[in-house]
Structure 1
Amino acid sequence: MYGGFWDNLKNAFKHSDNSLYKLIAINLLVFLVVMVARVLMTIGGVGDLYSSALSYLMMPASVSRLIFQPWSILTYMFLHEGIFHILFNMLFLYWFGLLINQYLGSRKLANLYILGGLAGAVFYVWIYNLAPYFSGSVDSSLMLGASAGVFAVVVGAATLTPNTTFMLILIGPVKIKYIAIFYVILSFANSAGANAGGELAHLGGALLGFIYITQLRKGIDWGIPVQKVGIFFENFFASRKGVKVSYRKKKTSAGYGSTFSKSSKSSTPVTSSSDATQEEIDRILDKIAERGYEALNKEEKRKLFEFSKK
């Protein structure tokens, strides 16, 4: 990360290693667009059109409907209507996402969120179409929200560093494994209530978060396909010339290893405005691969930041 929260959020799309802020920014931007559309269309007397249009972005429980709007398995996980819904989702994503980003890096955080959202959607459709309790509401049930992806991040962080402690207001220090367990149990208890679809998606995301980290410890990264898609679009939209930094997975004994490949238009050392040579940048990137971005000192972060703008 390159600064405070708001600075990082404002510059979320200017850097390639801050998935946490990209995810938060996308959710906030979509929320604002939806809110403005809802108000204007309702005042304009076309509120029904707004509801109909929104339903095509929400996740349907009906398989027959999902076939005709397959994009909704992705769009639903960035969609919110209620202010408190998005507020709590983004707070949890930020708090627990910082841990994932610190230990595993930006790309694996994005992997967890997307895979958690997909797992939540699959679990939601599966249960709704199999359980007799939901048989009468399958065709009319729709779901939206980032909760499944957020639950994957929460449980993933708790699986990765279970004894990390958060200070909770009125409660005091609590290990994050107990926070995760509490919310999973709460979702299970409410899975037959008014928000059954959302709670089931929570459970699907939570299960994915646990499995993802346990598999990662064995050297198996379920997020590689998601990662490749992300890299493709990063490269597609990249306008930066000169140095290109790309990611590839490298298996290590701990299962978390990663490395970076560096290339430039010339094989000769390149000097940026920060007076950093290509050799120094290579050394900094190797350090990130071995120990994570947070292991860099301020001078190394400055050089990498200045060099990335070249």
Structure 2
Amino acid sequence: MGISNDIKYKYTTLNVGEKLIVINVLVYILNILLIFLFQLSPDFFMRWFELPKSLDHFIVQPWSIVTYAFFHGSFSHIFWNMILLYFSGRIFLNLFGGRRFLNVYFLGAIAGGFIFMLSYNLFPAFLGINTSLIGASAAVMAILIFICTYMPNQEVRLFFLFNIKLWYIGVFVVLIDLVQIPINNAGGHLAHLGGALLGYVYARKLYEGKDIGSGFEKMVSAVVNLFKRKPQAPLKTVHRNRKATTSVKRPNTDKSDHQQKIDDILDKISKSGYESLTKEEKDFLFQAGKE
């Protein structure tokens, strides 16, 4: 039970970008493990979540415009996506909160998916090619290009060797995708460019004071609220007192003591680290985080 609580607590302390990395890695591991154990075809699960290029197939699995971003075809595919998500996500979350991060991430995935489908149904070079799209690259590109656009002159350390401005990195990765479209993995590079375009437009509009992701955020919140159970109001019994009584309001000492204990535990973590906590303190902090 202690190990389970430790894992749950450590997960809750991750930022939203790190949680997405954990989810992507778990999906990747679970997919290859089930395929191996049950001797299934490599695309047994993936075909239900990948984004098809055919509009007819997309209509019957519209969820794939988002779910495709949680599946990866190889270890190197997920490794480099998650490395880039980790570093660009840290910069992003130093500026903005988790909700805006998710807006850019998922809108980037959606934009990349639509550019992929549009291209494969519009350009003669791709007609007749049967393919599909997987991977978080478009969503990650949206995060990366967002920060490169929003703070272009910010310098970052590259490969521990030298500093470089973010806008140089943004231009470089976009050019790499453009020149590789005729060479290999055209669908993937087109999706990258769709995510990059979303990140660029989002940052420019936000710089002007307009959040283009606010409507998307409200829509997601409305869908989530549909599945939340509304608590039923308890029945109330009204008593008519014959004798007037006076009540003395007591200070809420329990609440202040509870918060003081949380503050003491957090101070202990900052001084000695999470591992210095006792099992009781870890359990208390985990339960407090759920309240």
Q: In the alignment, what sits opposite 1:32?
A: 29
Superposition map of 1:1-310 within 5 A: 11-12=10-11, 14=12, 18-41=15-38, 44=39, 46-47=40-41, 50-137=42-129, 140-169=130-159, 171-228=161-218, 229=220, 233=224, 270-271=255-256, 273-275=258-260, 308-310=289-291
Secondary structure of the structure 1 residue equivalent to 2:143: helix
Secondary structure of the structure 1 residue equivalent to 2:256: coil
Which deviations, in whole Å up to 9, do the C-alpha atoms of 1:22-81 show, x marking residues without a partner? 21111111111112123224xx3x32xx42432221111111111111111111011113
For the residues of structure 2 that align with 1:144 and 1:199, how far apart are their CA atoms?
12
Q: 1:219, CA displacement in angstroms?
A: 2.4
Q: In the alignment, what sits opposite 1:255?
A: none
Change (3 A) 1:226 1:23: farther
Secondary structure of the structure 2 residue equivalent to 1:51: coil
For the residues of structure 2 that align with 1:67 and 1:205, how far apart are their CA atoms?
22
For the residues of structure 2 that align with 1:194 and 1:146, how far apart are their CA atoms?
18
Which deviations, in whole Å up to 9, do the C-alpha atoms of 1:125-145 show, x marking residues without a partner? 1111110000121xx110100
The question of whether the paired residues in 2 share the 8 Å contact of 1:272 and 1:307 is answered with no
The question of whether the paired residues in 2 share the 8 Å contact of 1:148 and 1:202 is answered with yes
Equivalent pairs counted in the alignment come to 244
Which deviations, in whole Å up to 9, do the C-alpha atoms of 1:138-157 show, x marking residues without a partner? xx110100000000000001
The question of whether the paired residues in 2 share the 8 Å contact of 1:34 and 1:81 is answered with no
Change (3 A) 1:151 1:227: same
Change (3 A) 1:231 1:28: farther
Change (3 A) 1:36 1:306: closer
Change (3 A) 1:225 1:35: farther
For the residues of structure 2 that align with 1:85 and 1:207, how far apart are their CA atoms?
21
The structure with more radius of gyration: 2
For the residues of structure 1 that align with 2:214 and 2:76, how far apart are their CA atoms?
33
Higher RCO structure, 1 or 2 (CA under 8 Å, sep 6+): 2
Change (3 A) 1:126 1:235: closer
Q: 1:210, CA displacement in angstroms?
A: 0.5
Secondary structure of the structure 2 residue equivalent to 1:22: helix
Secondary structure of the structure 1 residue equivalent to 2:260: coil
1:11 maps to a residue whose letter is K
Where do 5+ consecutive residues of structure 2 fail to align? Answer: 1-5, 230-251, 264-269, 275-284
Q: In the alignment, what sits opposite 1:251?
A: none
Q: 1:171, CA displacement in angstroms?
A: 4.8
Which deviations, in whole Å up to 9, do the C-alpha atoms of 1:79-108 show, x marking residues without a partner? 113111111111111111111111111111
Change (3 A) 1:143 1:27: same
- TM-score, normalised to structure 2's length? 0.74
For the residues of structure 1 that align with 2:8 and 2:133, how far apart are their CA atoms?
27
The question of whether the paired residues in 2 share the 8 Å contact of 1:272 and 1:306 is answered with no
Identity %: 34
For the residues of structure 1 that align with 2:131 and 2:178, how far apart are their CA atoms?
19
Secondary structure of the structure 1 residue equivalent to 2:43: helix
Secondary structure of the structure 1 residue equivalent to 2:164: strand
Q: 1:309, CA displacement in angstroms?
A: 4.3
- TM-score, normalised to structure 1's length? 0.70
